[in-house]
Structure 1
């Protein structure tokens, strides 16, 4: 596919067209299956098959830093906390470490906040290429009146958010009402305008991997630029079997339409070793393009602290206390 130069319809790091969506194809949706036992066996082999050490591990961990949507989504968020988080996004790893590693200027992929904090984050990131992502549409349950969810999207975009993380209505998936899910996602995508839209499936509440696969496909048909596992508020969030299911749906969608769609695992990814497993899986299944921030993100906060600890260990041979790598 021909690549495009960045424009106002693209994020700073994006050099490929957005997903325009397509008409809902219910025959394709009905044909989607998921072999749960095979998917779980494949996911279980990753830890033993993929291992990187020393300078190779450091390189992969630095790549992971560039893919993090540094996130704060707490009821006690304050403007000061968001400003400190943005400062961490601009300088995610101690300057002395980045200098030794030859990676000065490294930043995270984005900062993700509630709508009320978008303007604060935009001001704090002024002069950088780090986009602000807003969680909208009645996050995390997605059960507020639909017109209010649409209005929240529009307000977040007006406040400066370049990415919108929306939550789908899980009931549409659980009842198999794919037309309703498609129509909802399509209207949300339209409300986002030039902002990229990440569709949060809340996979821990979708009951089966087949539902996850079908919901992934429907959201992509409706124009989602990314599909995302979780809000981080469910009892079960990102897992490797769910990831394998979703990224194979992404691969099938690209094979059928030629369009690349991004992927974002979120919730429960707190250790550097976990990030390495996800990166290995993405490279195996989708290839190098999905190791860039325009097509892959981690929804995380504590992950960055552990990565910084591992990088310090690589450089010094010693582990530092976790509190030396606070987020703000």
Structure 2
């Protein structure tokens, strides 16, 4: 799969030439008005949509889900079941869209590929010592190479938050570039910031630009493994970043909020954020994803209600 990494690296060659140059660039970005950001996110979250639009939004949200299992107790059987659900989320209604992807650990990639073969559902794999990211670069790259060799279509990497918070921006940039190279032409790269650990909105904006400059195909809020994950405000900030980056470079980057998005109402709020901030070009699963497996169950229940007029309840959908 073609990558924009070389084009973006060339565009920002001067800014990434040294630690000091990159620091000057990142600290020269406009400061984030936290009050204004949160107020806009809250205001957009009050938008309501009509029944026809709601049905469209539910199907769109289903098609944007990365159905995920990232537990130490994962088994081949659990991954195969997850793959079957991704392909046919509602076995009683084959008009239900497939999910965008299934996301697993590298050792489960081959099993996931078999489970979704021929369906168009992608297989994503976390890597780079997920979720902490505390490992030597050689170990992280081996993690990526294992996943890509097993057939992963997408890699979800975590940045070194310790290095970022210590101001070692160039180290973070170069690590993302190295992972981008390890993905080669075969896998798209999602870069996870763990926004709940970055402390400030200014840091989230800076991390977003590092990721985009280094060749990310997607920027992603979180691992889902910490207390604070995706929020409307931090996702809005990242959507502003990809919008501004495209205006400046012509390169489009995707966004993936992950963790804490559990209801159809939540999903619709995020879709409104996408449309009103980045624009309709991002209302497609090639450019926007939800990292929220439990969300699928509520979307399916709401979909059934719209179709039948009855609320089926959680016993009528499979529980992850």
Task: Name the TM-score, length of structure 2 as normaliser.
Answer: 0.93
Q: Report the Cα offset of residue 158 of structure 1.
A: 0.2
Partner residue in 1 for 2:239: 247
Say if 2:203 is the partner of 1:211: yes
Partner residue in 2 for 1:184: 175
SS in 1 for 2:36: helix
User: Matched residues in 1 for 2:265 and 2:280: separation?
Assistant: 19
User: Matched residues in 1 for 2:152 and 2:304: separation?
Assistant: 33
Whether the aligned pair in 1 keeps the contact of 2:90 and 2:96 (CA below 8 Å) is no
Say if 2:299 is the partner of 1:313: no
Whether the aligned pair in 2 keeps the contact of 1:24 and 1:221 (CA below 8 Å) is no
User: Matched residues in 2 for 1:182 and 1:149: separation?
Assistant: 14
Q: Report the Cα offset of residue 34 of structure 1.
A: 1.1
In the TM superposition, structure 1's runs of 4+ consecutive aligned residues that sit over 6 Å from their partners are none
Structure 1 residues 277-298: Cα deviation after superposition (integer angstroms, max 9, x where no partner): 0001101111111011111100
Q: Which runs of 5+ in 1 are unaligned?
A: 1-8, 11-16, 99-103
Say if 2:147 is the partner of 1:156: yes
Cα 1:267–1:324 shift into 2, 3 Å: same
Say if 2:32 is the partner of 1:63: no
User: Matched residues in 1 for 2:184 and 2:14: separation?
Assistant: 20
Structure 1 residues 107-145: Cα deviation after superposition (integer angstroms, max 9, x where no partner): 111110011110000011111211100000101000022
Q: Report the Cα offset of residue 93 of structure 1.
A: 2.6
Structure 1 residues 255-304: Cα deviation after superposition (integer angstroms, max 9, x where no partner): 11110000000000110100000001101111111011111100111101
Whether the aligned pair in 2 keeps the contact of 1:118 and 1:132 (CA below 8 Å) is yes
User: Matched residues in 1 for 2:5 and 2:81: separation?
Assistant: 33
Partner residue in 1 for 2:86: 89
**Corresponding pairs, count:** 307
Cα 1:212–1:126 shift into 2, 3 Å: same
Whether the aligned pair in 2 keeps the contact of 1:86 and 1:111 (CA below 8 Å) is yes
Aligned equivalent of 2:250, options 255, 258, 270: 258
Cα 1:24–1:251 shift into 2, 3 Å: farther
Say if 2:26 is the partner of 1:29: yes
SS in 1 for 2:243: helix
Structure 1 residues 136-166: Cα deviation after superposition (integer angstroms, max 9, x where no partner): 0101000022211110100100000010000
Say if 2:192 is the partner of 1:200: yes
User: Matched residues in 1 for 2:50 and 2:249: separation?
Assistant: 38
Partner residue in 2 for 1:325: 317
Q: Report the Cα offset of residue 55 of structure 1.
A: 2.2
Say if 2:299 is the partner of 1:301: no
Task: Name the TM-score, length of structure 1 as normaliser.
Answer: 0.90
Partner residue in 1 for 2:45: 47
Partner residue in 1 for 2:19: none
SS in 2 for 1:186: helix
Whether the aligned pair in 2 keeps the contact of 1:263 and 1:295 (CA below 8 Å) is yes
CA RMSD of aligned residues (A): 1.4
Whether the aligned pair in 2 keeps the contact of 1:238 and 1:268 (CA below 8 Å) is yes
User: Matched residues in 2 for 1:24 and 1:114: separation?
Assistant: 36
Whether the aligned pair in 1 keeps the contact of 2:59 and 2:96 (CA below 8 Å) is no
